[in-house]
Amino acid sequence: MTQPRTMLEISGLEKSFGDIEVLKSIDLKVQEGELVFVIGPSGSGKSTMLRCCNRLEEPTSGAIFIEGERITDIPRRDLDRMRLKVGMVFQGFHLYPHMSVLKNVMLAQIKALKRAKPEAEARALEMLDQVGLKHKADAMPAELSGGQQQRVAIARALALDPGVMLFDEPTSALDPELVGSVLKVMKDLRDKGMTMLVVSHEMQFAREAADRVIFMDGGYVVEQGTPEEIFGNPKSDRLKTFLSRVSHEDAGAEAD
């Protein structure tokens, strides 16, 4: 039996903004093909941790490894090559509004990955097909719904053949009826064996699709385990408080 490969490893990660210590010591491993879910209260540093993984934020100390390569040591001018291995999906989609959907998915393939244009186009169409939006290739981003825009953003990241995908609250900006389409794409990705680190409040999705759930609070990983362990049998008081508050919010939202 071969050991599963560690695709992403975070070790002793710390991050401060000025005097504020946001991440105090984070250790985390994501194996190949795993979907790891990150939950935690607002301000606990989830986005900051994710953004350290492709160095959109510079870690204050600690090490991060992507496919075994220590990316925290890479000089700034060589970051672009590393970022190709890490796909990132943002809460706000951030499609380029002046380009068609197809061009959005082709741009970095051509300019960063140096693919030839026909190859980039073929790859873009394939990825758009995978997220169910091939027929929107010529549309402009503003003509799409939020859910469609987010799926294009996922296709844009996937087209670069990343080893790991990072999702920062990919469905938080969406109307409730559009959330499902994005989650479905993520589930398909998981079934295809993509390694994913997902920050999200979609607890139901975590139960169905996550291999592991990480609970962060106050700059630490407080608890981690399978979805059953985390949701069914929380150990720390902080997690219990968090889960009861979230389930109240959910109940409140459903009552609206």
Partner 1 sequence: MRFIETFFNTKVMADYMPDLIHAMGVTLGLAVATIITGILCGAALACLRVAGLKLVNFCIIVFADIMRALPPLVLILILFFGMPSLGLNISGWMVVYIVLSLVLTAFSEEIFWGGLTAIPAGQWEAGRATGLSKAQTLFYIAFPQAARRGIPPLVNRVLATTKLTALGSVIGVKEILSVSSSAQSFSGSATPLTMAAIAYLIIFIPAVIASHKIERRYHFAT
- Asked if residue 152 binds ligand ATP (CB under 6 A), the reply is no
Mark the segment that binds ligand ATP (CB under 6 A) among 46-54, 93-101, 124-132, 220-228.
46-54
Q: Which of 7, 8, 44, 242 binds ligand ATP (CB under 6 A)?
A: 44
- The partner in contact with residue 235, picked from ligand ATP, Mg ion, partner 1, none with C-beta cut-offs of 5 to 8 angstroms by kind, is none
Rounded to 10 degrees, what is the CA torsion of 222, 89, 157, 162? -10
- Asked if residue 43 binds ligand ATP (CB under 6 A), the reply is yes
- Asked if residue 42 binds ligand ATP (CB under 6 A), the reply is yes
Cβ neighbour number for residue 62 with a 10 Å cutoff:
17
Query: Residues touching partner 1: how many (CB under 8 A)?
Result: 27
Cα 27–33–38 angle (5° rounding)?
A: 40
Residue 84: name the closest of 153, 137, 161, 30 by CA: 161
**Residue appearing with tokens 């296709």:** 155
**What DSSP state is assigned to residue 63?**
E
Nearer to Mg ion, 38 or 106 (CB): 38
Number of continuous H segments (helices) and E segments (strands) in the chain? 9, 10
Q: Which of residues 32-51 bind Mg ion (CB under 5 A)?
A: 47
Q: Which of residues 36-65 bind partner 1 (CB under 8 A)?
A: 54, 56
Residues that bind Mg ion (CB under 5 A): 47
